[in-house]
Amino acid sequence: MAGNWKMFKTPAETIAFFEKFRPLVANSEHCEIVICPPFTNLAAAVDAAKGTHIRVGAQNIAWAKEGAFTGEISGPMIAAVGATYTIVGHSERRQYFGETDETVLKRTQAALEFGLTPIVCVGERLEERESGNTEAVLIGQCQKGIAGLTEQQFAKIVIAYEPVWAIGTGKTATPEIAADAHRTIRAQVRAKFGKEAGDAVRILYGGSVKPDNVKSLMAQPEIDGSLVGGASLDAVSFAGIVNF
């Protein structure tokens, strides 16, 4: 269960969140928990998560190790503060910051090179769904992004299916719609990396996941976890999702 805080919270608010959240998930050993705050809060989050099984991740990663890339943060920098995950290719990055399948692949490879677990996001936009192109979009994103990895690299990634029309809109995909998309993605993985890799890869669902809809989503065997935006900002709400 991963929380994507997007551009919310200061370091002080991060610490306050963890103080409330830690006891609520102290016995939640049934799943991995990851919180992805803004870069400026990574150190505070790592510190606040010490001694717990909560992991901390970034929301983006540069493809280079260092260099003249104003505004970017690299894998070694993220790893140096103790974060172990990073989101890659979130639809907001694709929509507002020019992220493409090609840059998503480069960033994913950089995450792996520097020992971070990438949570690679794919998902269709509303007009793509309405024009019946969901499957083609997902296949394209898998083929141009994930399929460029080696088998060993692929074994270390997590995939997040996030239909863009369901992000922050309160419109969750029905469990059936989500499971359908997960099946499409898994089929692509099987075709490229084999059955075992297809069975093993964790595919998270993201898009308006809340404590009151998480159970029906997670009841789908195809759905292995959630990537949660808005509902991960509140400790009680995110703990409710973790402990569904």
Residues that bind ligand PGA (CB under 6 A): 4, 162, 167-168, 206-209, 227-231
Cβ proximity to ligand PGA, 14 vs 213, nearer residue: 213
Least separation in angstroms between CB 213 and ligand PGA: 10
Tokens of 94: 């694709």
Cβ proximity to ligand PGA, 172 vs 184, nearer residue: 172
Least separation in angstroms between CB 230 and ligand PGA: 4
Q: Which of 167, 75, 89, 74 is CA-nearest to residue 122?
A: 89
Q: Is 124 annotated in the active site? A: no
Least separation in angstroms between CB 51 and ligand PGA: 27
Looking at the DSSP bridge assignments, the partners of residue 120 are 88, 159
Least separation in angstroms between CB 1 and ligand PGA: 12
Cβ proximity to ligand PGA, 57 vs 75, nearer residue: 57
Least separation in angstroms between CB 169 and ligand PGA: 7
Q: Which of 214, 239, 228 is CA-nearest to residue 21?
A: 239
Q: Is 90 annotated in the active site? A: yes
Q: Is the dihedral of CA 192, 197, 198, 201 positive or negative?
A: negative
Looking at the DSSP bridge assignments, the partners of residue 225 are 204
- Residue from 90, 135, 182, 222 carrying the catalytic annotation: 90
Could you tell me which residues come within 8 angstroms of residue 18 by beta carbon, excluding any fewer than 6 positions away? 45, 48, 49, 54
Find the residue with minimal CB distance to ligand PGA. 229
Amino acid in the structure at residue 226: S
- Residue from 99, 135, 162, 222 carrying the catalytic annotation: 162
Cβ proximity to ligand PGA, 23 vs 168, nearer residue: 168
Q: Which of 161, 242, 158, 241 is CA-nearest to residue 202?
A: 158
Look at strands 202-206 and 117-122 and give their pairing.
Answer: unpaired
Cβ proximity to ligand PGA, 32 vs 47, nearer residue: 32
Determine contact, residues 8/39, Cβ cutoff 8 Å: no
Which positions are annotated as active-site residues? 90, 162
